[in-house]
Amino acid sequence: MKFNFSRFLITGGCGFIGSSLVRNLIKRNNISIINIDKMTYASNILAVEKTNHLYTHYKKDINDINFLRNIINDFNPDCLIHFAAESHVDRSIDNPSEFIETNIVGTYNLLNTTYAYWRELNKKNKDRFRFMHISTDEVYGDAYQLPSFDEESPFLPNSPYAASKASSDLLVRSWNKTYNFPSIITSASNNYGKWQFPEKLIPLTIKKALLGEKIPIYGDGSQIRNWLNVEDHIEGIINVLSKGKVGERYNLASSTELTNLEVVETICKTLDALAPSENGLKYSELITYVKDRPGHDKRYSLDITKIKNELDWLPKKSFKEGIYETVEWYLNNKDWLFNKTKEKYDGRRLGQLK
């Protein structure tokens, strides 16, 4: 899909979802990209190897206001896509202050600095500029025994992570309503795919299974999530950037809702087929039920009628196809999977109240 932008400033572009967008854009012609990523534990420089002279990464924090001001004014972006965020719920339970500092204060600093830049543009460039904020289905809270949430559903976040994202969403909305700042918000369901840091359910399950370790299932595993392939998510973001209306919010999700247990069992069956265990056991025999997470939402579910009808977007990849490709990718990149974990995360459980 073509779009009327050529100078992208991306925050969090070495993260799982942000790096997928960077890889997509690098393949296109005549697009300049600046990626601001402070390289936290979940960031990965390998996911966005520099293959284009128009791409530059800065290892900087979005709370470095002087740097932000200088780089925005020097680069003259025509759009800014904001991925940078702390995103793991368990970590937000243990240390909510990091989530408040990055997700709320960082978004405020980015908004304020970008608004000052935008205000000085000429009318043509003002009209073209977009600030896209990438958010999550978790801001809406628990959809258990409720209809899927649409864009008008109220925010009812139940974790420090979800609350921090809801707060940042409201800041972005307020800059549009108060200052007429050209922002758009997208909320996506659970993403999966290659290069995801192995603290999340799918890569963690793959890693644990391959190491012959117990695969933890929180509670009884009946929590329901909607699963969206990260490449479909990126196409949705590009669609919204190209055709979405300023000041609007768009939900992005697939039609696949599965319990956490069903997801883990699917991964185990896929591994049984692609990489049978040496001892002849089924990987599902490693599944172990552990104490549930505090405040664990039972179901997340998004209604995507708006983006389907207004922007003609639907995800293309089935979960069956996507999970097979994902498992296959991790099998082909086991060194990264194990070394990344060894360097940044020892696999122990987080987010338990003492």
Residues 6+ apart with CB under 8 A from 279: 212
Which is the catalytic residue, given 55, 117, 140, 161?
161
137 belongs to the catalytic site: yes
Can you list the positions of beta strands (E) in the chain? 7-11, 32-36, 55-58, 79-82, 130-136, 183-188, 190-192, 215-218, 224-229, 249-252, 257-259, 287-290
179 belongs to the catalytic site: no
Listing from the earlier edge strand, what are the strands of the sheet with 257-259?
190-192, 224-229, 257-259
283 belongs to the catalytic site: no
Which is the catalytic residue, given 137, 151, 231, 248?
137
User: CA 155, CA 138: separation in Å to the nearest integer?
Assistant: 9
Task: Using alpha carbons, select from 34, 33, 16, 65 the residue that is nearest to residue 193.
Answer: 16
Cβ atoms of 83 and 343 closer than 8 Å: no
**Strand 190-192 vs strand 224-229: parallel, antiparallel, or unpaired?**
parallel
Residue 108: is it exposed, middle or buried by C-beta count within 10 angstroms (0-12/13-18/19+)?
middle
Q: What angle do CA 301, 306, 308 make, to 5 degrees?
A: 95
User: CA 170, CA 186: separation in Å to the nearest integer?
Assistant: 12
- How long is the chain? 354
User: CA 151, CA 303: separation in Å to the nearest integer?
Assistant: 8
Which is the catalytic residue, given 138, 169, 257, 265?
138
User: CA 5, CA 130: separation in Å to the nearest integer?
Assistant: 9
C-alpha to C-alpha distances, 134 to 10, 43, 208, 251, nearest whole angstrom: 11, 17, 30, 10
Backbone angles phi, psi at 181, to 5 degrees: -70, 135
Q: Which are the catalytic amino acids? A: 137-138, 161
